[in-house]
Structure 1
Amino acid sequence: MKKSTKRACYFVVALGSATIAMTGCTYSQINPEAAAADLRADTGYNELKEIEPGTAKLVMRTFGAAGTTSNAQFAVSIAEAPCKDFQHLGAAAYTGSGIVYPWIARATRVGTRASPYLAHDATPGQPIQVRGIGNWSTGGANVAYRAGSCGPVTVSFTPAENRAYTVEFVWGEKMSCRLAVMDATNPEAPQPAEARDIAGCPASSR
């Protein structure tokens, strides 16, 4: 008679300055359909499919680096001059929604004043600048607390009428960062959008 084996799944949850290792299968493995719905809701997928006629939709978001708590502050500007007259929109934070259990995702965002994503209606044909500033922290029982930031990073692009775009704050190696702009009018198959990096924008709005 063969002995049955039970597979254990491990994942790490970052809550504020504490990192907690948990044992058990992830939410996405136990309830794939509900997890997929949570992921769509918390990454702006549904917003991308709801474009006000005659406008362009922007969804700004970020995905955290492994083992860290992170968020990104976003601002936009329609000024002709680079790096001028930014309007602060708020902060977006990735909580692991769709991967970890919903209560863990909610707890991760407590105290951050961040949303899962930010949505903004843009004027088609008018160039828009998007600026992102990222903040991260990590630590736990056996890991020293560390924190830092990355940015500002800024891009400019011209949205088209009745199109939806994601502007994603992307974390790279050694907590480097950049902004990636995708045409996500079809959120199932996003395509790179033509965008220009703007160097040297300060963190202040003017």
Structure 2
Amino acid sequence: MKITKSITSEELEAKKAVAEEAHELKAGTKVKIVEASLGKSGINLKYWKVVTRDFENIKGEMELREFENPGAEKMPFLPHPDLLLAFDLLRPHLLLACQQKEAYDAYGDLISPVTFESFVGEDQDNPLSRFKVTGFAINDSETGVTLTGLRFTRGSATLPLSQYLDFHGGENAYEFGDEAYHVIKHARNEVLLYYNGKIAPDSQYSLDFDDAASDME
């Protein structure tokens, strides 16, 4: 037996408003970061802009459709400390994936990324101080990422490092793929926040300005 329920005009308008709001939330433009690297002063980005818009189909009905457009930008702004910290959190995975000597314990077993959290500061006792992550590139299927970076050797010399990490399963999967996935997710979010305006605090710029002004006096 079919049951019908009557609603007031106010309730009907409220339902329409909710439906319109939900539609508006679905429509719009989203930016999906796929690659980020440290530039001379800012961040070099590659991304997909996912545009969701109303589209009239062959029946004359309006429906939501997605369009993806690639983009790339060299952002000139100094990155926020949170973004730089997110890159630093990738250092254990860079040295582990590249099988650097710091990746192994005295018995020749791989050290867990969590173990590196016990090191603080950037002195010589911290093995992470010998490494720097300069960028990441997420593959099309988002099942892995290529990390790029540097190993500091003697003096000012550096050794370039680059390695692909497979997050999930597979014969050549990175042993700590789950941990790397979550750190990349965090770094990716910080890069997106940077793209949307979360840059270094103004105090850093004002300090440079004050120094320049004092030189002119």
Q: TM-score, normalised by structure 2?
A: 0.24
Higher Rg of the two aligned structures? 2
Give the structure with the larger strand fraction: 1
Larger RCO, structure (CA 8 Å, separation 6 or more): 1
Q: TM-score, normalised by structure 1?
A: 0.25
